Every structure is written in C-alpha cells, then in structure tokens.
Amino acid sequence: MELFTKTLFLCLALALTNGAPASLRSGRNAALPDRCEGIEFDAITPDEKGTTFFFKGPHLWKGYHGSAQPSNEHFKELDDIHNIGHVDAAFRMHNIDNPDKHDHIYFFLDDKVFSYYNHTLEDGYPKQIQDDFPGVPTHLDSAVECPKGECMADSVLFFKGHDVHLYDITTKTVKTKTWSHLPVCTSALRWLEHYYCFHGHNFTRFNPVSGEVNGTYPKDARNYFMGCADFGHGGGYRPRKCSEVKIDAITTDDAGKTYFFAGPIYMRLDTHRDGLHAFPITRAWKEVTNGVDAVFSYTDKIYLIKDDQVYIYKAAAHYTLIEGYPKTVKEELGVEGRVDAAFVCPDDNTVHIIQGQRILYVDLTATPRAVTQNLPLPLDGIDAALCNAKGIDLFKGPQYYHYESPMILAMGRMAPLPENITSTMMGCQD
C-alpha cells in the first residue's frame, strides 16, 4: 500500500510538471499576458509623473517596455477582492484651474468612477459616474482628456460604441457626437497633442474636435507604443551619445514647446514627463522635406529656414503653413546668403541671424524688414542658437557657448569656455 501511494504521488507530480498547462508548470509569470502578441487594451492612461500605463484584465504594463504586472501592485484596489478586476476606461485629468483635480487619474468600471493621485485612491471613492461626470453614460469603452486649445475648453472625450460624449469640465455639460467612421475605441490616449484610438492591436489617430482621420490608418501599435522584437519605426533612429550630438536648429515657441532639429528628424525637449521621442520633420511641418538650417519663433508663429527659403507656420495646436509661403530669405527678412542659426529672445522684436562670424539684427516689426546691425561674432561654425530667460546658448557640435544676454553677446570679443551638451538637455546618452 505504501508503495502504491508513493507511486500515485509520483505520477501526479509528473503530470503537473509535464502534462499540465504551461501556466501551472512554470509558475505565476507564465500566466502574464504579452502585449507583443497583439492584444486589445482595456484602457491606457499616463499618471501624474508621465508614466503611461496599459491595462488588460487584472494586469498592466508600466511604460513602453517591460512585462505585464498585476494591476494591484500599483493601484492596490484594482483586484478581485475589491471587485475591480479590470477597468473599462481611464484618463488623466487636465484642469489647471482646479489643483485638487489636476493630474489625478480616473478609472471607470461599469457605473463607478475611481480617482487616484500618487497611486492612492482618494477619500470618498468610488462614486457613481453621474456624481462626478453628470450626463456621461455608464459601461464606457474609453476616455481621454482634451485641454483647451486642442478642444474648445478643458474637456474629456468619453467613448461608447461610435458615440463620443464631449464633457466640458467647467460647465459640466455634455455634447454627444457620432463618429461612425472611427473604429470602436476600446482605449484612447493623448500623447504630444495628438489623439489615438486603440482597437485590437491597432490604433487610429484622430482629430479630437471633428473626429477626422488624416493619413493611412489603422497602424500596428507594436510599431509605435511598445518595444517589441521585430517591430519598430522611425527609420532606425536611436539617441546618440552626447559627445556625438550635432543639431541643426532649436527654438522655443510662445506656448513653451521646445524643438530641436537634426537631419530629417525633430524632437520635443519639453516633454520629459511623457517621454522624449524622435519624429520625421514632415510629421509636423509636411512641406519641409530636407531638414532645416535655422528656426525661430515669433508672435505665435514658427519660422523654418532651409537654403534660401523661409516657411512660416501658425503655431496652433498643430502647425499650418501660412498661405503664400515659402518665400525667399531676402524677401522675408532682408538677408542674403546662407543662414547658420537664428534666435529671438522672449518679449523682443528682433531676430538675430548668424552667418559665419557675423551676427545680423533684423527688426521684425519693420516693413520691409532689413538688417539694422551687422556685428562680428567671436565664434565660427555655429550650428544652432536658442534664447530664453536664462540667456543665449550657441551650439556647435556636442558643445555650446552660454551668454547672459544679447548685449553681452554683441559686446564680447572673446568666446566663453564651451560646455558639453548633456542628456537632460537633449535626451542624448551621456
């Protein structure tokens, strides 16, 4: 009998290790879903620190790389014990006028809403959706925030089927539209002022006001929003070492967005919270196909200079080329010859044009525009220039020269000691 019992236990052990499902044989990790296999997310949202979370059932992925983790390791109430095994929709609130709500993240499940800050559930939650968002339906498919300037007012888009419920945060009113041309969005994400509807393992980018879709969609999310083997985009661009950086142009627009340009790509430098990412220049400025030589911003417009042409774009939520452009640099700025770099300081009406070892001053309020000063520059080979409240930086290869003000730059006869570009400045690798 004892021999029979031992034999029975041995057979059971072999069955569990060899014949049982892999999830039982190899432990907890084998049961984790793999987003690179092409799954459909339940919800996507960034948190207050800019980390984007992708939700599927009781699991989530933190950021664009890495394996799935149990949701309750980050949001402890998201578990079966609290009957919140998954979420229907999620978004990060944009409400600067109300710091008690701004940057809080909201989860929706059936007819309930949960508000979190710093991954901690707020007192008084969960609530009925109608308590916080009157007029918004239950059992949502997805949600995404839409700040003023991208929508008419600070708003939230709630998706249910093909209906989109636009919720005005200030007036607490809802307008419902039907966007039957969009797929049913099982999750939605706002990233770098663009809006993405996720469906299956694909996504479609859309206009948050009209629902219009421009470009070729759907696209596979694995090529763009997560690090998966055999997937990817961007022409193989990888961040360079800081010692190898060479930028062509840099500017900060009136909205505080800072862009640098290098070859055919550009990168937003003010988006550290939501991640730095390189894009083709034609993504934002489709008419500029071969890189830029110089760039500057002035009165809600951005000026891109390439060869002897100036392209001027209105700096709305998305840049649009002003009718009649490009024009020649001579016609627009009264400057002849190739432009190496350009900058405009905050609250100033003068664009400073760098050509070799000369710096030209052009009054942007004059008609026609013409050079008012032509001064020597104690440097040569400048690639790009930027002026902000901290002063002026002139970039040359992987280094830059800092000046406290335009006056010091104009009066200087000797160049300051160069400083090295760092990862915090350009997103490069130290």
Q: Which residues are annotated as a binding site for heme?
A: 233, 277
Which of 172, 168, 136 shows the shortest CA–CA distance to 153? 168
For residue 277, give both structure tokens: 């990412």
Q: Which residues are annotated as a binding site?
A: 233, 277
